[in-house]
Amino acid sequence: MVDIKRREVITLLGGAATGRPLAARAQPAARLPTIGFLGSATAETQRRGVSAFVQRLHELGWIEGRTVAIEYRWAEGSLDRGSEILAELVRLKVDVIVMPGGANAVAAKQATSVIPIVFAGAGDPIGMGLVTSLARPGGNLTGLSMQSTDLAGKRLELLREVVPGLRHLAIMTNVGVSGTVLETREAQVAAGKLGLEVSTLEVRHAQDIAPALDSLKGSADALYVAADPLAFTNRLRINTLALGARLPTSYNFREYVEAAGLMSYGADFADLFRRAADFVNRILHGTKPADIPVEQPTKFALVINLITAKALGLTMPPKLLAIADEVIE
């Protein structure tokens, strides 16, 4: 009788032991930490920045699909679509939301006060109301400034070197984006100090771009485009129209110049994306956004398109070419 009971106990224990792996396999897989990535333009136009972001995550030990999940969404230059995407990411309860600039960050701040938000290059984080200070952001937002407003005057000085007879400047601005409006004001002030007349072209939608440029009727000597998702998404259209109107163009980022713009001076966009991954890493490890200071750009680039200069009949000053970080020819 004792042997029978012993065998029964052994059988039961053996069944329990073999049953554990089956029970474990039946459990749902653990949810990966999830990043909601809101691209302001399209996947193709922001490919370079996204690659830098993902590569840096990899270096920090976050492997997409294995140790972290990324939900990509693309606003295609539309702030309304950006707001819809933000609502979706909030419903998905992602662990952190990342976006390249400040335009959608304003909407993100309104969409959630709980989910951490990292902006990879807001024009003026304090002026846009994203953070209370750079050193102590407060709230659930932090990230990187791209100093668009601070650099407006420098861009105009460079543009005047290329266009010696510059007297009348056109500034294209998306009046629906607070950061773009702030940059435009700085550009207007800088233009005034340089003794330039200014025509401000206000746009809100892609269909506004062609009429805005047509309204100049040959009166402007150059075009300054304030940074925003709409302009970034439609940069090839803007440059095509500007070339047709014989207008030299000035921008924030090299991507505009790659699309036939004349010149750009500003923070390195890919570097901002790369550094945003460090913010995400800290947040996924438990640091609160309020405790992560907003950082300034450390890399700036002057990019010149000689093909466009030749098409416009412009001769680039040798000293400008000598200091350029990249020359497209």
* Closest C-alpha to 102, from 227, 236, 204: 227
What's the DSSP call for residue 38?
A: E
Mean pLDDT confidence for 182-195: 95
Reduced to 3 states (helix: H, G, I; strand: E, B; else coil), residue 26 is helix
Domain parsing of the chain, residue ranges: 34-146+269-298, 148-267+301-328
Are 320 and 161 in contact, with CB atoms under 8 Å apart? yes
Residue 187 C-alpha from the chain's centroid: 21
Split at pLDDT 50, 70, 90, the class of 29 is low
pLDDT band at 217 (very low <50, low <70, confident <90, very high): confident
- CATH 3.40.30.10 applies to domain 148-267+301-328: no
Residues 259 and 278: their CA atoms lie apart, in Å, by 30
- Looking at the predicted structure, is the pLDDT value of residue 162 above 60? yes
Q: What is the rounded distance in angstroms from the CA atom of residue 143 to the CA atom of residue 139? A: 12
Inter-residue contact 256 to 239 (CB < 8 Å): yes
What is the three-class DSSP state of 218? coil
From CA 104, how far away is CA 96, in angstroms rounded? 14
User: In the predicted model, is pLDDT for residue 6 greater than 80?
Assistant: no
- Do residues 227 and 251 lie in contact, with contact meaning Cβ atoms separated by under 8 Å? yes
Angle separating helix axes 269-284 and 47-59, nearest 10 degrees: 40
User: What average pLDDT does the structure give for the chain?
Assistant: 90
3-state secondary structure 79-98: HHHHHHHHHHHHHCCCCEEE
Q: Could you tell me the end-to-end alpha-carbon distance of the chain, in angstroms, rounded to an integer? A: 95
Q: Is 44 exposed, middle or buried (0-12, 13-18, 19+ CB in 10 A)?
A: exposed
Q: Quick check: 153 and 190 in contact, CB under 8 A?
A: yes
237-274 confidence digits (pLDDT tens):
999 999 999 999 999 999 999 999 999 999 988 999 99
Asked if the domains 34-146+269-298 and 148-267+301-328 are classified in one and the same CATH topology, the answer is yes
Least-confidence region, from 19-23, 180-184, 246-250: 19-23
What CATH architecture is 34-146+269-298? 3-Layer(aba) Sandwich (3.40)
Smallest Cα–Cα separation from 309: which of 318, 301, 300, 296?
318
- Model pTM above 0.75: yes
